[in-house]
Structure 1
Amino acid sequence: MHALVVTAHPSPRSLVAELACVTRSALEESGYSVEASDLYAMGWDPAVRLEDYGDVADTGETVSARSKRAYETGTLAPEIVAEQDKVCRADLVVLLFPMWWHGMPAMLKGWFDRVFVNGFAFGLQDDAGLPRKYGDGGLVGRRVLAVITAGDRAESFEPRGLNGDLEELFFPFLHGTAWYAGMEPLRPHLVSGVDRPGWEDRADQEIQRLRDRIAGLDAEVRIPYRALADGDYGRDRKLRVEVLPGERGLRIHERRVGEREPGEQGPAEHCVDDHRLAS
């Protein structure tokens, strides 16, 4: 088994950097080979530029179309190809980053923007010409774990917490990026209260908790998001009326214990009409 550890923090002496070291050693103890992308140390440019696609002329094409053409013709920037190769080698991708303004740092978001291009992570079709996304896609077969540090207490990221439920805060990544591209997202790992009094007394405990989590990853199951191919969604991309009738919110996209098995809702309906980067 092989893992890619992606780190996004500007300070090499940060807690995130320390947790990255813990993660790498814990993975190796569990039998993984490990490689890393420390985005700040690499000087990673998070901004999508026309130069990424080998042709700076303004052709009027969308970013999605240009990136797909560059991917298919082998003209993507070398640093993008290098990161794609790392992702391809990985069975597990672990992301370590601080929560900044209720999201990931721009450096990490830009890694996804530049690396997860059309034709590589999305924009694929099956033999019938139907889109492969939400449970299928270019990165199917890989799992992903986000390790997130946050200043506030853990309770504030629970469903009734002031900051909002952690998994709903990161739904755009967990569901809209990882699951969309076919990766299997695990429940995010929150290291909380790092800016609160008493953190020094809890640091060792939190490091051990992360070690224990990494040691048990192989036995974990993914977040039970519904796959597009399951048949739970209609052509309008909404849950069929008979699935959790009357319920709303992001959690409806997770399959509940006791629900009918995939395919019992009816056949999946598709239309080839989507891109991750529209312009």
Structure 2
Amino acid sequence: MKRILIVSAHPEPRSLNAALTAFAVDHLRAAGHEVRLSDLYAMKWKPTVDADDFPDHVSQEDRRLHVMRDSEEATLSGRLAPDIAAEQEKIRWSDALILQFPMWWFSTPAILKGWIDRVFTSGFGYGPEVPPPYDDNGSALAGRRALLSVTLGARETAFSDRGIHGRLTDVLHPLQHGLFWFTGMTPLEPFAVYDTDRMPAERYAPAREAYARRLDALFTETPVPFRPLTGGDYDHDMRLLPGRERPGTEGLDLHTRPAPRPGLSR
């Protein structure tokens, strides 16, 4: 049995995102897993970072708010705002994290971005008091798998290498690499449902079946092979060293390890 945290971000309880969230909860529990759900809109989650997140800072009226410093002090002293501390406890408890959301303006809804901003404090997800980032040997939240489940209004072809929006893997790079990999979690390839603006009812069953297959493989599928910062591929300025990539590789693909060639062992 594994423990999974699902964070859902959609304002309409009858939406496709809400249906996928409910399906994931039921499917994972039926498989014997323990599941917790953070439905951010139902929770009326506060999305903005401010001094109220760090109560000790409020008592020091002459002190300028420094988010990284004050969040780290509050995190390490156990004096964060209660709603933040509760979400951090859920992540610590979990073996896997699933973020369920619609893509709005090529990113997450503001409420989910605010959950990330407030919950991944210095001293919890990053910072000098936790293991170094971009390291698959023990970063802050190592050992947890991470899956993005996202719905998109555009067709799949629009999010391809020649599509007008660019590849979905590139659009989601800030979450996959900048959030999950940076904090030590293990990102999986995202699950996406495209062309959802006017999605007919008959398309839901196939989407649900495809999602079930991904949920069943949550702890077995091969993760995105991002390069660790400490693996010898980068210089001291965090730039990929020459010759580490396959010929013809460019863009964000530079920062994933090449797949082994047939017949070669690694």
Specify the SS of the correspondent of 2:219.
helix
Q: CA RMSD in A?
A: 1.9
* Cα deviation code 1:45-96 (max 9, x no counterpart): 0100111011223523521011000111111000000000000000011110
Question: Who is 2:22 aligned against?
Answer: 21
Contact 1:134 1:181 in 2 (8 A): yes
Specify the SS of the correspondent of 2:49.
coil
**Letter aligned with residue 196 of structure 2:** V
* 1:74-223 alignment runs, 5 A limit: 74-124=78-128, 132-135=132-135, 136-196=138-198, 199-223=200-224
**Structure 1 64/261 Cα, relative in aligned 2: closer, same or farther at 3 Å?**
farther
Question: Who is 1:64 aligned against?
Answer: 68
**Letter aligned with residue 70 of structure 1:** A
Distance 1:121 1:46 in 2: 18
Distance 1:28 1:158 in 2: 34
Specify the SS of the correspondent of 1:76.
coil
Distance 1:141 1:261 in 2: 25
Question: Who is 1:277 aligned against?
Answer: none
Contact 2:101 2:108 in 1 (8 A): yes
* Cα deviation code 1:205-247 (max 9, x no counterpart): 1111111221122220210000111110000110011212775
**Structure 1 107/246 Cα, relative in aligned 2: closer, same or farther at 3 Å?**
same
Contact 2:123 2:129 in 1 (8 A): no
More displaced, 72-81 or 250-259?
Answer: 250-259
The Cα of 1:199 is off from its aligned counterpart by 2.9
**Letter aligned with residue 111 of structure 2:** M
**Letter aligned with residue 260 of structure 2:** G
Contact 1:16 1:149 in 2 (8 A): yes
Contact 1:52 1:76 in 2 (8 A): yes
Distance 1:137 1:219 in 2: 21
Distance 1:44 1:86 in 2: 15
More displaced, 211-220 or 141-150?
Answer: 211-220
The Cα of 1:29 is off from its aligned counterpart by 2.5
Distance 2:129 2:248 in 1: 32
* Cα deviation code 1:105-156 (max 9, x no counterpart): 1100110100000011111457xxxx61013421111011010001111122
**Structure 1 124/184 Cα, relative in aligned 2: closer, same or farther at 3 Å?**
farther
**Letter aligned with residue 134 of structure 1:** Y
* 2:230 aligned with 1:232: no
Question: Who is 1:243 aligned against?
Answer: 244
The Cα of 1:32 is off from its aligned counterpart by 1.1
Tell me the TM-score normalised to structure 2 length: 0.91
Distance 1:132 1:239 in 2: 18
**Structure 1 147/58 Cα, relative in aligned 2: closer, same or farther at 3 Å?**
farther
Question: Who is 1:253 aligned against?
Answer: 255
The Cα of 1:162 is off from its aligned counterpart by 1.6
**Structure 1 30/124 Cα, relative in aligned 2: closer, same or farther at 3 Å?**
farther
| Uncovered stretches (5+) of structure 2, i.e. residues with no partner | none
More displaced, 160-169 or 243-252?
Answer: 243-252
**Structure 1 52/78 Cα, relative in aligned 2: closer, same or farther at 3 Å?**
same
Contact 1:124 1:138 in 2 (8 A): no
Question: Who is 2:51 aligned against?
Answer: 50
Contact 1:193 1:199 in 2 (8 A): no
